Every structure is written in C-alpha cells, then in structure tokens.
Chain A
Amino acid sequence: MAKFGSALFNRLVIVIPYAWLLFFFLIPFFIVIRISLSETAVAMPPYLPVFDLASGFGGFIDNIKQFSIDNYIWLTEDALYTKAYASSLWIAGVSTFLTLLIAYPVAYGMAQAPSTIRPTLLMLVILPFWTSFLIRVYAWIAILKPEGLLNQLLLTLGVIDQPLIILNTNWAIYIGIVYSYLPFMVLPIYSSLEKMDHSLTEAAQDLGCTPIRAFWRVTFPLSLPGVVAGCMLVFIPAVGEFVIPDLLGGSETLMIGKTLWNEFNANRDWPVSAAVATILLLILVVPIMFFQHAQSKADAEGR
C-alpha cells in the first residue's frame, strides 16, 4: 500500500507543474492563436467566429473553415508592424548591451568583495524591488525632464548651458530599461563569478598572464553562462516592454508593446493584436531556445 501511495505521490509531483503550464500557459496561448486566426467584429467578444456548443460538430467544422491567416498577412503589408518589431529588437538589444556593460563590473566587484559584506551588497542590488516599479519609472520622469533634477545639477555645475532633451527620446528608454533590469543582469553574473575558484586566475597569472589577460582568458569565458542568462533575462522582457517606452519614450518611439496596446485598447482589434503577440512570441522563442541550449551545455560541463 505504501508503495502504491508513494508512486501516486511521485506522479502527482510531476503532474502539478505540467498542469500549471497547461492551464496557465498552453491553453491561453492557444486561445491567443485562435483569436489571431479570427476576424474582427463589432460584437461581444469582438471577433468572429465564436464557438458555440449548441451548433454541434457541424458548426465547429464550419467555424474552423472560417479561420484565416489574413491578420498575419496584414502584419507583413503594413510597414508599421515590421518597423515596430525591428525597433523593439534594436532598443532591447542596445539596452541589454548597456546593462551588461554596467552590470558586469558591479557583479565582479561584488564577487571580489570580502565575503562578510557580500550579503549586504546583494541586498542593495535587490532593494529597489521593494518600491513599486511604476513609481520608480515615474521618478525617472522627474529626473530626466528638461527642468528635472539631472539638468538642474548639470546646469548648476556648469557642464551644460542648455537643458538636455532626454525625456521622450530613445535615450530615456535605454536609461529606464537599464535601470529597471540591472538586477536581473547582476545576479546571474554575480552567481557565476562568485562560485569560481579564485586559484584559477592565480594559475593563469602564474603561467604568465597579466591580470587583465587572465581576466579575458579565464574569468570572462567561465562567467559566460551567467552573462548569457543575464542577457536573456533582460532582453526577453525588454522586447515586449510597454510601461517604460510609454512613460519615458516619445510619441515617435515605436515598440511592439505599445503597438499591441494600441491595437487592443484603442482599435479594439483583438485578432490583429493576437497576431502581433503570436509573432512576438515566435521572435522570442529563438533566443529562449539559444539560452536553454547554453544552459544545458553548461550544466553538462558541471559548472
């Protein structure tokens, strides 16, 4: 009996996460795909066809026949969407790179710090999460606007004589994304640097590397899994980011998150916005798969 019970328990343990994925990811995902294949309608819900149990199997088949890929064709015909995707990828890519440039030295410094103060440093990295994300982004408006804190400071110091126009440009978006996602980059890099055997860099120096060469030949290659993980954690959400471009970006800033929001709320075109979301997902699946491949490779090498 006990054996049967534990077998049941083992199965249950496996079933729970899969059931979770099924109900909260896979089924919603198929609903989105299904809406993307429908056409818009002035109705409730605002698309056709609508499945109805009363129409029976024949009605179901009829409905399936009404599905079309018109919305996807529409996305390719209107340059707005292509531009929005390209611009999103570009902004996310630049932001990820800038985040990496800042996060790596931070993580390196944390990993080199005495082990007694490391928990404090870790705490400081996580601390901003205790304040609402929205409030922190609004705070950047106050900092970046022409009469904001940054410009006042620079004017007072005499660095500039005209206020810098940063707010409502792509730079404001970069700043917003880098600021918001920095911890997601710092933490994986820190964890890969922190567990590294310090004698490896000593060995590299012992064998004739200057400290800088030792870093590039040994430390950096060994921290790559952390770098890749951090880049994915920043890049993937940044591509679909909506709040930061909406609040900090200008009206001419095209990002797919904003486009999607417009289609869904302003145009009430659910099918097209569903198609936009589906394509976005496909674009992101590629880097996610790359990330998983890198992860499993790193795991196989026992790091």
Chain B
Amino acid sequence: MKSLGSIRRSFAPWADPNSVPFIAVKNVTKKFGDFVAVDDLSLNIYPREFFALLGASGCGKSTLLRMLAGFEQPTSGEIILDGQSLAGIPPYKRPVNMMFQSYALFPHMTVENNIAFGLKQDGMPKADIAARVEQMLKLVKLDKFAKRKPHQLSGGQRQRVALARSLAKRPKVLLLDEPLGALDKKLREETQFELMDLQQELGLTFVVVTHDQEEAMTMADRIAVMAHGKVVQVATPPEIYEAPNSRFVADFIGDVNIFDGTVSSAGNGTVEIATQTGFTVRVASTEPPAVGAKAGFAVRPEKIRVGRDRPACAPLNAAQGEIWDIGYLGDMTVFHIKLKDGKVVKASSLNAVRAVEDPLGYDQEVWISFDENAGVVLKD
C-alpha cells in the first residue's frame, strides 16, 4: 500500500481546473412538505475521491446520500454521475451501491447469499458469482463465515458483510451511511484505516455520510461540512481544521476558543483585533476585514501556550488567568484557564515526556500566549 500512499499525497483533482467531476450535484433542492432538507446545494466529487458529508443530524447529509442512491428524487436541480444525468433513474438501475447504517443484511440469507444477492439480480453466471463472493469474503476477511446467518455474527463482522455486499457489484460509487456508527471506539478506529486502504486498493469513489468529525478527518480526501441543507465549507481535513471559513465550521470541527472583538488595524498581511476580553491579538491574514469591523478570532487549544512567565510578545497575543480545571488524558493534558474577565479558555499541551518537574496545578496564575499564525480571523 506504500506506493499507493504516495500517489494519494499528490491526489488533488479538485485543485485542477481541467479535471472533470465524477459526480456533479447541481443546485439540488429537496423539500419534504414545507421542510427544506437540502437547499440549492452544489458539489463536485472527483473520481477515486474519498468524500465525506459531515454535519449534525438533520442537516440534510443523509437526504443527499439517498438522492445519490435514488431513494429520493430532488425537488429541483440535477445530479450527474459520470456524465449521465441520474434524473428518473430508479435505484435498481444506478451504478452505485450503498452501505446502510443499519447494514440491512437480509436475516434469512447466509453471509454468502447476502453478498451474492446483487450479482444474482444481474444474472451473472453461477461460477462467476461463486468466484466473486469468495473474493469479497477474502477482501473483508470473513472466509470462514460464509455459511453463517447475520444473527450469528458480531457487530464488526456484520459491518464487513454489509461492506462486501455493497462492493460485490463493483459499483462506480460506493455510498456509506454512517458506516462505522454501530461499532465501538477501538474497532471503529481500526476499520477507518481498513476502509481507506480498501478504497485505494479498489480505486473506487466513496461518499460517506457521518456525524463523527474524527471519522471524516481520518478517512476523507475532502469534507463537506453541512448545516441546514447547505454546504458551509468543502475542503481537505487540514484546511477545514486550520482555516475554517466560518464560525460554524470552526466551532463544529474540534475544540476552539473564539474571541470576539473589533478590528483595530490592518495591513502588511496582519490584522489586529481588540477583543472584548481586553487584550489585542495580531493575526496573519491575507484578506483582512476593514478597520472598525466586527470580527472573531479563533484559535485551537493545542496552539495556545500556557506558562508561568510573562511571554515576550505580551501584551499582544497574551493574557493572564488562573488554572480552573485540569484534564489529564494521557497523551495530552487539557487546561481550562479562567481569564480576568471570567472567559474560560481551553488550552492543551502534549505530554511529550513522562515526568514534568513542578507541573502546573489548580488555581495557579498563568499566562496564555500564541503565535501570529496560530489562529484565524472569522469575519461573520
């Protein structure tokens, strides 16, 4: 898989204006009665991409996936797959397969027959079906369970059967609805990497719906963050995390501290914001908002330094407070620091060494500080 990994690093068809999207969602709206589930949404998904639709429940991500599968028809707009409009094509004629959140394994059929189900519908010769089923069972490492019924399998094994069944027909696109939602944490983490390997090995386009941002960040090439039926931001996981385009995305993905304030000066690629908390931040910004505009400053906990000494940059990008709470997570420690005005800031530090001399304790007076490029300016 190493060689493929290196291909993947340079995989960015969305950045190439000449590349043709594999799935083009064009101004799709879906209404259920008065409720607008998907609101004038447009998206491009490229061949071999691992694309994640991320959002809270009710944001329209599942509806969008169901429209790709053909279980729902757009109220307006159209979806194009591989150059062909999907309008009016029923689910059983679409070259896409779906892995259901509940797995939807047929309880009256063995693992084997579940996987063979789609192939039989296509009228594939029996010998070919048997060969394909065997190949799929090997792929998901379930060779020994071919004759079992779904209720005789563990949750993780059922998930693999569902995956094998949806891959058996070699769909152009695999749709995954909360594929790992029913697994426990450890198994979920393992399976995330297995899914990524599988996707690269098969060279398929995956569209996954999830509410778990960690899952989306781990697996996806790009993430579409959705809210209220609209896409808020589409970007790679690092871009989404480090350069969220809105307060919603910054807040939705990971932990964040947001300081509201007013722009006091801008220029030379930096902007200064006088925060309501009482200190001024200077942030690197290529498109700074106008002076006097309201703006927010978002900074992730791990980019905040905590120390007893007054940092050199003070009073810029620094504030004084006391340690309010300490959460020791093993790999890192999370501090909640109460600033003078009562605002609680989250900061985390990696526990890179086993024993720290004189660690920070409760109620201690500390300084928090961060670099000019540690956070981003939120204009809204």
Q: List A residues at the B interface (Cβ < 8 Å).
A: 197, 199-200, 202-210, 213, 217-218, 221-222, 301-303
Contacts and interface: CB of A to CB of B under 8 A. Distances in A.
B307 interface: no
Interface in B95-131: 96-98, 100-102, 104-108, 117-118, 121-122
A100 to B, nearest CB: 19
B165 interface: yes
A204 B107 contact: no
A203 B166 CA distance: 9
A60 B51 CA distance: 87
A204 B169 CA distance: 13
A197 B92 contact: no
A209 B149 CA distance: 21
Contacts of A217: 117
B104 A202 contact: yes
A160 B29 CA distance: 54
B233 to A, nearest CB: 30
A303 B105 CA distance: 13
A217 B107 CA distance: 12
Contacts of B165: 203, 207
B5 interface: no
Given A202-B91, A213-B121, A208 B104 contact: no
Contacts of B166: 206
25 contacts: A197-B102, A197-B104, A199-B104, A202-B71, A202-B100, A203-B100, A203-B105, A203-B165, A204-B106, A205-B91, A205-B92, A206-B96, A206-B97, A207-B97, A207-B117, A207-B118, A207-B121, A207-B169, A208-B118, A208-B121, A217-B117, A222-B106, A301-B107, A301-B149, A302-B151
Nearest to B93: A208
A295 to B, nearest CB: 15
Given A206-B91, A208-B169, A209-B92, A199 B100 contact: yes
Contacts, number: 65
A27 to B, nearest CB: 41
B106 A206 contact: no
B71 A222 contact: no
A301 B152 CA distance: 9
Given A197-B102, A301-B149, A206 B107 contact: no
A5 B295 CA distance: 73
A89 to B, nearest CB: 30
Nearest to A213: B121
Contacts of B98: 202-203, 206
Nearest to A202: B71
A107 B16 CA distance: 55
Interface of B: 69-71, 90-92, 96-98, 100-102, 104-108, 117-118, 121-122, 149, 151, 165-166, 169
B344 to A, nearest CB: 43
A197 B71 CA distance: 15
A195 to B, nearest CB: 12
A204 B108 contact: no
Given A204-B106, A217-B117, 19 more contacts: A197-B104, A199-B100, A200-B104, A200-B106, A202-B71, A202-B91, A202-B98, A203-B100, A203-B165, A205-B70, A206-B91, A206-B92, A206-B96, A206-B97, A210-B92, A218-B106, A222-B107, A302-B107, A303-B107
A203 B121 contact: no
Interface centre among A206, A301, A302 (most CB of B within 10 A): A206
Contact of B90 (A199, A205, A221, A301): A205
Contacts of B105: 203
A222 B106 CA distance: 9
Contacts of B122: 208
The 7 A-B pairs at the shortest CB distance, nearest first, are namely A207-B118, A208-B121, A203-B104, A199-B104, A205-B91, A302-B151, A199-B100
Contact of A222 (B101, B108, B121): B108
Given A218-B106, A222-B108, A301-B107, A204 B100 contact: no
B174 to A, nearest CB: 11
Contact of A221 (B70, B71, B108): B108
A273 B100 CA distance: 59
